[in-house]
A and B are shown apart, each in its own frame.
Chain A
Amino acid sequence: MSEDVKKFLYLNRKAPYGTIYALEALEVVLIGAAFDQDVSLAFLDDGVFQLTKGQDTKEIGVKNFSPTFRALGDYEVTKLYVEKESLDERGLSADDLQEIMYEDEDDDWAEKPSIHIVSRAEMADLIADQDVVLSF
């Protein structure tokens, strides 16, 4: 890895709707993908709701941007970490989340899941291991 590559972590802590943080965080991720950095996304607290499947925003009149998460693999954003305790605290499990896959170019383009469920302690280690943390 070249010296110019830093570990970027986008920390998503807020529900997808109700405030604009989640949407504008995703906009940063998409633009940032062009910079060829080592990118990870983390979802904790109410941020875990961003990845739930079956989102329908018709009644609140705002754009449902959740399908964009499934396109992240095309931007080579393939590491999405979801905190297990945050899911548990909200009565959610991995089954409630969208299936988000990417094609691994180092493994004959095999389809692999982008979402990894991690413990709070593992999340802390992940955050500590980063060069740049952008919190939303």
Chain B
Amino acid sequence: MKFGVVVSEGPYTHQASDTAYHFVVSALEAGHEVPRVFFYHDGVNVGTRLSVPPQDERNIQEQWTALAKEHEIDLVICIAAAQRRGMLDENEASRQGKDANNIADGFRISGLGQLIEMGIQTDRLMTFGD
């Protein structure tokens, strides 16, 4: 089966991104496909490369980046939600006149159309949030 995954809560504060991660790992192990994960609301904050959790804790962004690389998962951060929350890639930072960008490797910023498209193209859409 082909799953689309939505993460709609921020990392560390809320378990949604962890549960989504474990779901995707398990789904892939069971032979399913997960072509895309869409990060919305505070979920966009998962994609910052500037997060530095204590060394004895999981690094949520690095977990996603590694998983995406291994399985060619498209990690999409919603641009509208990202801009509100200070999540910028290089292009957006320069377009908005900001002096920094913070998107982690393996993530990309794109529009809400990617969420709808994922709903159309997958067999099941799973939302991990509140």
Tell me the A residues contacting B by CB distance below 8 Å.
4, 6, 8, 20-21, 24, 27-28, 31-32, 34-35, 37, 131-136
- Contact with A8, one of B81, B111, B119 (Cβ below 8 angstroms): B119
Taking residues whose C-beta sits less than 8 angstroms from the other chain, chain B's interface range is 10 to 19
B43 CB → nearest A CB, Å: 11
Dominant secondary structure of chain B at its interface with chain A:
helix
5 additional contacts (CB under 8 A) given A28-B112, A35-B117 = A6-B120, A20-B41, A31-B116, A132-B125, A136-B8
Q: A20-B41, A27-B80 are in contact. Are A132 and B112 (CB under 8 A)?
A: no
Tell me the B residues contacting A by CB distance below 8 Å.
6, 8, 40-41, 80-81, 84, 111-113, 115-117, 119-120, 125, 127, 129
Dominant secondary structure of chain A at its interface with chain B:
mixed
How many residue pairs, one in A and one in B, have C-beta atoms under 8 Å apart? 47
- Contact with B111, one of A31, A37, A132, A135 (Cβ below 8 angstroms): A31
Nearest A residue (CB) for B125:
A132
